[in-house]
Structure 1
Amino acid sequence: MNQSALERAWYRRGSWAALLLPLSWLFTGLSGFRKRRLQKKVRPPFSVPVVVVGNISVGGTGKTPLLLSIIDYFTGQGFRPGVVSRGYGGKCLSYPCLVTPGSVSSEVGDEPLLYAGKCPVVVDPDRDRAVHYLLQQQDCDVVFSDDGLQHYAMQRDIEIAVIDGQRGFGNGFCLPAGPLREPPERLQTVDFVVVNTASGDFFLSHPGRYEMAIEALAFTRLGDQKVIDAHAWSGDKKVHAVAGIGHPQRFADTLQRLGFDVELHAYPDHHVFTGSELLFEDRKPVVVTAKDAVKLVDFDPGTVDVDIWSLSVAARVDEHFLQQLVQKVICCQTKKTA
């Protein structure tokens, strides 16, 4: 069974999921054992609050745009945020690695380049080490971990879980029979749950539950960097949507809501594109995600004779959530300096 077929099976109960259940039970048992072992280790707390923004499922949930919005809000409130990340999709020559304007996605990954446009970022598979290095190198007063909810070797003060409100928990099984990294009960221990575009049949009760939605902002053309408001597109409405993200259909849905006739070309998360994958016989415009666009900074659109645009989006979340998060961070800061 290929990856796409497996993912389809995750979001409905069927024979494939049933066959894989024994492996899911093994995965859950081993993960639980590892979690308990790591949590028993006594680690000194960091000097600043550490906030994990992650999820309990594989695939895209909207975590990246949410964290970008959180960074913007905290910066606007006078904080000095920093980010640590595993750097999925990249491989540095050595770790920890401070992301710089000259960094490339093949070394540091996709998301870190987006965050680095807003605040200091360090990538390292060892997130605990990444936090120490970030605090040594940069004057940050709060650290956000991009993903890492299951990285129990890293001490944390606040946890935010992001849930795909359209796909929910899929068939409810843990890997490999389902999409879950941990059982849904894990959400009972996090501080906040942010649900991205909840569908009518998705129900989740949590005292720290908030809603978010993805809003399209603007198109930027690769090459000359021409910018067009997302709602002011006057060109051909028939486009090729090319995406190497966790949930490509959500990207296509966003374009369709803007009135586009979309042909989706979905690739695995963190996929590295070649020129031929962006070339189509009809020469219709190609639209990629902002996350994929960072991998195309050195790509010359003239080599494929077609317009390639990236679509930037933003997470619109209840401001009460952001205010509550700020209050928790301030409370943590007070305790750490007492």
Structure 2
Amino acid sequence: MLQRHFSGTSVKIGVDANRAATAASFLHIHGFINPLDIACFEKLVPKTRVVSDKIGVAILDDGMQHITVSRDFELVTVNASSPWGNKHLLPYGPLREPLTSFDRADAVVIHHADMVPNERLSEIESKILDMNRFISIYRSAMTPARFFKASNMSCKLHLGVICEKIVLCVSAIGSPNSFVQKIAKMGASYVDRLDYSDHHQFQDEDIKMIKARLENLKNKYGSKPTVVVTEKDYDRDSKILGRLDPFEVLVLCCKLQILDHNGCSEESFKKLLTRSLSSTGKI
């Protein structure tokens, strides 16, 4: 999905089990450049031109636990719907680090902040500040932008296309509730769901189960239902979704939005990142 979104840009995507080693290999192959120098170059050349093939910023997903990796900025994300789980570390719980590790972080983003009450968000923020009272805390949400047809990516549709329709949400993501609730707010007459475990690879038996659920919905409501999947699930295996024919499959595209709260906004978030890079003068 990232490769598709960043196609034609200077962004490089590295995928491997050992992400730190992959990042190191990219830096070795391409070299690196001060990101502030890139900003200066971009003022002098057209934006469509790639100034340098060298890497200016390396972003390591799930990198906090790699304690031997040198880093300039530590950003922690917290799922507002289930921030701490059972408070245990992997494999007994969902945490990759103990909560005390917030004292090593530079900023926190509370994701799916639009899905929980403000009182709950305040509790989460209070817990974080107990660990690091100087940390910057932001709130974010996935904002639906549009649909496209799984059978034809170039066919882009507005969000109102599912209004008054019977919809079956099929997903294999970490937070399916957020996905389903957003679809329900778009005016569908009925929303059903099939949730699979995160990163699940759809198999033939899954397609049979999905088609059986679709047939039941069709018989119950007297109209052909529409399948809606996430963009992440589409890119994991777009071909297998074609086996749901003759049912229409739509893919929901969302954008990450930093929500304004207590002076924290998308603009202040960008400034925080820029200050961090400016103070280090390195990757």
Q: TM-score, normalised by structure 1?
A: 0.60
1:270 alignment partner, SS class? coil
Q: Which residue of 2 aligns with 1:211?
A: 139
2:20/2:60 contact within 8 Å kept: no
Q: Which residue of 1 aligns with 2:185?
A: 257
- Give the counterpart of 1:316 among 257, 260, 276: 257
CA distance in 2, matches of 1:248, 1:305: 25
**What is the deviation of 1:262?**
1.7
Q: Which residue of 1 aligns with 2:96?
A: 181
2:187 alignment partner, SS class? coil
- Give the counterpart of 1:268 among 187, 192, 197: 197
Distance 1:114 1:155, change over 3 A: farther
Within a 5 Å distance, the mapping from 1:82-101 to structure 2 comes to none
2:162/2:187 contact within 8 Å kept: no
Q: Which residue of 1 aligns with 2:17?
A: 125
1:151 alignment partner, SS class? coil
Distance 1:300 1:312, change over 3 A: closer
CA distance in 2, matches of 1:113, 1:270: 17
CA distance in 2, matches of 1:213, 1:168: 15
Q: Which residue of 2 aligns with 1:292?
A: 233
* Paired AA for residue 125 in structure 1: A
1:239 alignment partner, SS class? strand
**What is the deviation of 1:149?**
2.0
2:77 alignment partner, SS class? strand
1:242/1:288 contact within 8 Å kept: yes
CA distance in 2, matches of 1:297, 1:171: 35
1:134 counterpart = 2:26: yes
Q: Which residue of 1 aligns with 2:158?
A: 229
CA distance in 2, matches of 1:316, 1:286: 25
CA distance in 1, matches of 2:5, 2:145: 17
**What is the deviation of 1:302?**
6.2
Name the larger-Rg structure: 2
Q: Which residue of 1 aligns with 2:278?
A: 330
* Paired AA for residue 273 in structure 2: L
1:201 counterpart = 2:120: yes
Distance 1:303 1:266, change over 3 A: closer
1:171 alignment partner, SS class? coil
**What is the deviation of 1:264?**
1.4
* Paired AA for residue 252 in structure 1: V
CA distance in 2, matches of 1:124, 1:154: 16
* Paired AA for residue 112 in structure 2: T
**What is the deviation of 1:190?**
0.5
CA distance in 2, matches of 1:115, 1:147: 21
Misfit runs of 4+, over 3 Å: 111-118, 175-178
CA distance in 1, matches of 2:66, 2:110: 21
Q: How many residues align?
A: 224
Q: Deviations over 1:251-301 (max 9, x none)?
A: 111111223332111101111113335422124110000100102333463
CA distance in 2, matches of 1:301, 1:251: 21
Could you list the runs of 5+ residues in structure 2 that have no partner in the other structure? 31-52, 219-223, 259-264
Within a 5 Å distance, the mapping from 1:48-87 to structure 2 comes to none
1:236/1:285 contact within 8 Å kept: no
**What is the deviation of 1:244?**
0.5
Q: Which residue of 1 aligns with 2:246?
A: 305
1:288 alignment partner, SS class? strand
**What is the deviation of 1:213?**
1.6
* Paired AA for residue 229 in structure 1: H
Q: Deviations over 1:47-77 (max 9, x none)?
A: xxxxxxxxxxxxxxxxxxxxxxxxxxxxxxx
* Paired AA for residue 277 in structure 2: V
Calculate percent identity across the aligned residue pairs. Answer: 25
**What is the deviation of 1:184?**
1.3
Q: Which residue of 1 aligns with 2:33?
A: none
